[in-house]
Amino acid sequence: MNVPKMSSFTRRVSEVPSNVRLQQLKDRLIKSKYYLQDYVDSEDVEDCLLFWKKWDLIKYSTIELVEDDDDDELVEQTIERLESGRYSATIGV
């Protein structure tokens, strides 16, 4: 039985650089999603701070992926809408 040989130029989907990059981003976002879910319903101040700290680290990548657009203006507008309810306050020591 003859098995067709793959040329050295043929790549599996998972080896294509853009697909690898997207898969890595997807993996990071899924980990972040589970991390954020642990804090989203908490009323503890420390949990809220941890939630927003993580959100600040991933928000640009998340919006670019969800909006499927690299337009900086669109990304900024979307983030502004999402964060319109964010309350920032200085916590006294």
pLDDT tens digits, residue range 22-32? 888 888 888 88
Does residue 92 sit within a domain? no
> What does the pLDDT read at residue 61?
78
> pLDDT tens digits for 34-78?
888 888 888 888 988 888 888 888 888 777 777 766 678 888 888
Does residue 69 sit within a domain? yes
Burial of 64 (0-12, 13-18, 19+ CB in 10 A): middle
The answer to whether 51 and 36 are in contact (CB under 8 A) is: yes
List, in sequence order, the alpha helices (H) in 1-93: 17-37, 45-67, 72-82
> What does the pLDDT read at residue 31?
86
Neighbouring residues of 25: CB distance < 8 A, sequence distance ≥ 6: 61, 65
Handedness of CA 18, 20, 26, 28 (dihedral sign): negative
Judged against a pLDDT cut of 60, whether residue 91 lies above it is answered with no
Does residue 67 sit within a domain? yes
Per the structure, the complete domain to which residue 40 belongs is given by 15-84
State how many domains the chain has: 1
